[in-house]
């Protein structure tokens, strides 16, 4: 794309991690049976009054601070009026003129900063389930606290949009504001995209993209849309301001509605909620939760631990793994080895668990102990993995596992010598091959030693002993 600049802005809705809804005490539990987490307030019965959830405000402030926003001191809610079957009140309580925070920025790993136009609080709507003859409505989601995060149109490519989302998600997870799981609808993203001739000051006509179900989907949709618009401009077609839906299966965007039929939401201040001040105390208390953000951690890890960028990126992609890594290093100061064991056997075993990291019970000191025993040659690769698998979800005592399971590595020359002699006696063919100069034959014999010792032999010493005996026997 040489003739045009791509201009992208993203609107992200994240579900804030509260136990109850934003204006009532109904539970926010995911996957509850339909219409069980509802009450007259979130269903919008006449005469009920909303009560604002302090936790939603705290988390909103925390996100605003993490995204370097100016936090407005006095804020209020407004009614966004529209009729839809999944919103029985016929209006959504949102923020319009006075959002929670404005003018923030988010830095990408490459250094570029993307402006954050605003962050504001609002309630979610319900869910419609359509089938052939009828539609069902589930109101469990109405009143779930959302934070809308609107970027400035600073994003210049589909890949940059992907990087922005990845970084935003990491930040939100680090500060404990949202779980951000897109598959559960805890994070949703709409995108605006337009093209303009290079150096042109005026922006082109923008198209809104919806219905992307993953960050990859956002990237694919934007890439497709940029190419579609470029082709249209090249052919002197008019770009229509419209909303288009991403069709994941077909990998195309399809027109949904043109903006000419756009709603006038007739915003006005919500009369059932008072204006309120975001106190200095609230802001100060939330600063403590922001802590070390992902980019800073990335830089520090790269500088302090001698790991590759790829290794660091995986470790910091989850705060509990990053913490686990650092705690383990405190117990056994071999960062490279700890990292290898986390990125290898540990994550391999975690990924095979149904509930992944949530099932992990092993403490960092116990994990570090396994790595240390391995490095000292007291456990071999096989037995160390076995100990890890036995301790991973139980945090059983490491020494006890090794003793009970009889997993101490056999390194003594006497013991291994006996096994070696047996193996040599039982395998004349490979022995002959080795003596004729076929070096690889020794590996077969080492394998037999491992088998005999039930995986407990120290393979290095086993090989040395085999070679020694074979040499002596000519």
Name which of 144 and 462 has its Cβ closer to Zn ion: 144
- Binding segment (CB under 5 A) for Zn ion, from list 26-34, 127-135, 292-300, 319-327: 26-34
Instruction: State yes or no: residue 24 binds Zn ion (CB under 5 A).
Output: yes
From the list 3, 44, 8, the residue with the least C-alpha distance to 24 is: 44
Q: How far is the CB of 206 from Zn ion (least distance, A)?
A: 36
Candidate segments 40-48, 97-105, 211-219, 309-317, binder of Zn ion by CB under 5 A: 40-48
Q: Nearest distance from residue 27's CB to Zn ion, in Å?
A: 9
User: Which residues are CB-neighbours of 391 under 8 A, at least 6 positions away?
Assistant: 362, 366, 367, 370, 398, 401
- Going by C-alpha positions, the residue among 162, 257, 172, 153 that lies closest to residue 210 is 257
From the CB of 20, what's the least distance to Zn ion, in Å?
Answer: 8
Q: How far is the CB of 26 from Zn ion (least distance, A)?
A: 3
Between vectors from CA 455 to CA 449 and to CA 461, what angle results, nearest 5°?
55
In angstroms, give the least distance from the CB of 372 to Zn ion: 52
Establish if 32 lies at the interface with Zn ion (CB under 5 A). no
If one asks whether residue 56 binds Zn ion (CB under 5 A), the answer comes out as: no
* DSSP state letter for 394: T
Closer by beta carbon to Zn ion, 42 or else 116: 42
| Smallest distance from Zn ion to CB 270, Å | 16
- Using the rule CB under 5 A, give the single segment among 25-33, 71-79, 228-236, 257-265 that binds Zn ion: 25-33
Pick from 32, 39, 245, 282: which binds Zn ion (CB under 5 A)?
39
Nearest residue (CB) to Zn ion, 31 versus 183: 31
Site for Zn ion contains 42 (CB under 5 A): yes
- Per CB under 5 A, the list member of 7, 26, 146, 316 interacting with Zn ion is 26
DSSP states of 57-125 as a string?
HHHHHHHHHHTTPEEPSEE--EEEE--BTTBTTSEEEE--SS-SEEEEEEE-TTS-EEEEEEEEEEE--
How many chain residues bind Zn ion (CB under 5 A)? 5
Of 39 and 273, CB closest to Zn ion: 39
Structure tokens at 201: 């000051």
**Selection from 181, 241, 236 nearest residue 209 by Cα:** 241
The least CB distance from residue 53 to Zn ion, in Å, is 11
Note whether 328 and 338 are within 8 A (CB). Answer: yes
**Interface residue list for Zn ion (CB under 5 A):** 24, 26, 39, 41-42
């Amino acid at each position: 794309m040489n003739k045009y600049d791509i201009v992208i802005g993203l609107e992200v809705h994240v579900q804030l991690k509260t136990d109850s809804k934003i204006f009532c005490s109904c539970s926010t539990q995911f996957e509850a049976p339909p219409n069980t987490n509802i009450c007259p307030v979130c269903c919008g019965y006449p005469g009920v009054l909303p009560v604002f959830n302090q936790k939603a405000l705290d988390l909103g402030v925390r996100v605003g601070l993490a995204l370097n926003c100016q936090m407005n001191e006095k804020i209020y809610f407004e009614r966004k009026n529209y009729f839809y079957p999944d919103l029985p009140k016929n209006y959504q309580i949102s923020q319009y003129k006075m959002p929670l925070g404005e003018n923030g920025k988010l830095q990408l790993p490459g250094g570029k900063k993307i402006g954050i136009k605003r962050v504001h609080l609002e309630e979610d709507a319900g869910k419609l389930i359509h089938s052939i003859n009828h539609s069902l409505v589930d109101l469990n989601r109405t009143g779930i606290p959302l934070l809308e995060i609107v970027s400035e149109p600073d994003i210049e490519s589909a890949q940059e949009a992907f990087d922005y989302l990845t970084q935003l998600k990491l930040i939100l997870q680090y500060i404990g504001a949202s779980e951000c799981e897109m598959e559960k609808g805890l994070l949703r993203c709409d995108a605006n995209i337009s093209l303009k001739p290079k150096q042109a000051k005026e922006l082109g006509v923008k198209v809104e993209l919806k219905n992307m179900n993953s960050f990859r989907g956002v990237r694919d949709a934007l890439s497709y849309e940029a190419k579609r618009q470029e082709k249209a401009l090249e052919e002197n077609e008019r770009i229509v301001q419209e909303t288009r839906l991403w069709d994941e299966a077909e990998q195309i965007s399809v027109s949904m509605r043109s903006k000419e039929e756009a709603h006038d939401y007739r915003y006005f201040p919500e009369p059932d909620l008072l204006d309120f001040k975001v106190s200095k105390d609230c802001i100060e208390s939330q600063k403590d939760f922001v802590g070390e953000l992902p980019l800073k951690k990335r830089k520090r890890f790269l500088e302090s631990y001698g790991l590759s960028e790829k290794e660091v990126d995986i470790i910091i992609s989850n705060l509990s793994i990053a913490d686990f890594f650092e705690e383990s290093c405190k117990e056994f100061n071999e960062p490279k080895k700890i990292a290898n064991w986390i990125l290898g056997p540990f994550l391999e075993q975690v990924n095979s668990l149904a509930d992944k990291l949530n099932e992990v019970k092993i403490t960092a000191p116990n994990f570090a102990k396994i790595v240390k025993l391995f490095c000292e040659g007291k456990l071999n690769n096989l037995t160390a993995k076995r100990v890890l698998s036995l301790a991973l979800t139980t945090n059983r005592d490491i020494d006890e596992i090794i003793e009970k399971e009889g997993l101490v590595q056999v390194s003594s020359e006497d013991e291994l010598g006996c096994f070696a002699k047996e193996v040599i006696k039982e395998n004349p063919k490979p022995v002959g091959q080795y003596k004729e100069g076929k070096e690889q034959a020794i590996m077969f014999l080492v394998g037999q030693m491992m088998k005999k010792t039930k995986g407990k032999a120290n393979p290095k010493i086993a090989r040395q002993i085999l070679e020694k005996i074979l040499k002596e026997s000519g």
